[in-house]
Amino acid sequence: HTSLTHHGVSSCTPTKLLHNNVPSTRGELKAHASQVLHFHRGLTPDLSMSEAQRQKVAPLPKIIFGTSSLGNLFHAPTHDEKKAVVECVVKEMPTPVFDSAGKYGAGLALEELGKCLEELGVAPDGVLISNKLGWKRVPLTTPEPTFEPGAWVDLQHDAVQAISYDGILECYAQGNELLGKYEAKVVSVHDPDEYLAAARDEAELAARKLNVLDAYRALSELKAQGKVRSIGVGAKDISVIDFISDHFTLDWAMFACSITPYVHGEVARGLLKKLAKQGVDVVNSAVFNAGFLIGGEFFDYRQVTRESDPGLFTWRDKFNALCKEFAVSPAAVCVQFSFLFPEIVSVALNTTKPSRVKSNLDLVDAVIPQAFWEKLKVESLISIEL
């Protein structure tokens, strides 16, 4: 799941969204979308935001905190444990930004976030909440929730996908209801790449593309009405960010698994430059490749071993050796690598422990010697201009 914080079990490798003769290149995608737009009444590309309008969008902080743990991802913390994490974030940041979603625990994360903030006495204008829209809470009528079996623990509700013009507006209204006295001022469509990738054939893909574009029409209207401050998109398959940015004015885009010390291909770097020309801020997430770069057993949510992926481990061994040589932490390097790209303004990090909030903040302020980056390049561990 792409977030302004990333979690999940699927691969971050760009998925093949298009089937058989369905267009797959950027040019073909744009042509296909134009055909879809041509047949849709009232929907035209919205790329007209003025510089004055952009100035009204407050800049994002260098770190955004995810809330999937508030929705009982993989385990169920108590309300007090959740509140302790929220309290630490609130104390450490002047105006904290929390990233949430209706999909997180079928709305539980939004509900818990609102309760925690109210109990802590946080004013509605003292916090910025991002809600990724596209999943709606519904009654639980089966023993377990029907979405993402095994991922969410002790839920009392289910969730269904609702990516369309009306569906997104319903998700937006429900999300604010769950937040109580708070409102989401930063909005996006939740994982449009996964939604498109689920299409079974060309006809369904075309229909789903239209639904995604309709969803962004709804978001654009919410912003035009002053109900939200900014709209964005996040995806693991960044071709979908490219597609949406061709048709709607975005304030931000969130990359996942695409810009890390290990992965930073030409396509991703090219998209960064395109978005910069459009005035779109970029948030980077999954900066540790799902934990592998800092010692984990999973690479982009796929379990790996030295036998299955020797090249990954060879790279990590060299990376760790250089980190030790220069006395820098691998985690700080992964976070600071994001900021080598001027287009990236923020990173999204998640934690379930109050003690990790301050250490996460320290990562975004860490100083990495220039000589370290140069050594990484000499050793062919990174391939960017310094």
pLDDT at 9: 31
CATH class of 58-250: alpha beta
pLDDT at 354: 84
* Torsion on CA atoms 350, 356, 358, 361, rounded to nearest 10: -40
pLDDT at 58: 63
- The span from the CA of 39 to the CA of 211, in Å, is 13
pLDDT at 57: 58
252 contacts 283 by C-beta, under 8 angstroms: yes
Q: Is 343 helix (H, G, I), strand (E, B) or coil?
A: coil
- The span from the CA of 110 to the CA of 176, in Å, is 8
- The span from the CA of 95 to the CA of 126, in Å, is 6
Instruction: Give me 202's structure tokens.
Output: 């060309």
Spell out the domain ranges in the chain. Answer: 58-250
Can you give the length of the chain in residues? 386
219 contacts 187 by C-beta, under 8 angstroms: yes
pLDDT at 263: 94
Of the candidates 105, 263, 85, the residue with the CA atom closest to the CA atom of residue 175: 105
pTM of the complete model? 0.81
pLDDT in tens, the chain (386 residues): 444 433 333 334 444 443 333 334 444 444 544 544 443 433 444 444 444 444 445 678 899 999 999 999 888 999 999 999 999 999 998 899 999 999 999 999 999 999 999 999 999 999 999 999 999 999 999 999 999 888 899 999 999 999 999 999 999 999 999 999 999 999 999 989 999 999 999 999 999 999 999 999 999 999 999 999 999 998 889 999 999 999 999 999 999 889 999 999 999 999 999 999 999 999 999 899 988 999 998 888 788 999 999 999 999 999 999 999 999 999 999 999 999 999 999 999 887 788 888 889 899 999 999 999 999 999 999 999 88
HSE-CB at 114 with a 13 A cutoff on CA atoms is 19
71: DSSP letter: G
- Could you tell me the CA-to-CA distances from 191 to 10, 78, 269 in Å, in that order? 12, 28, 21
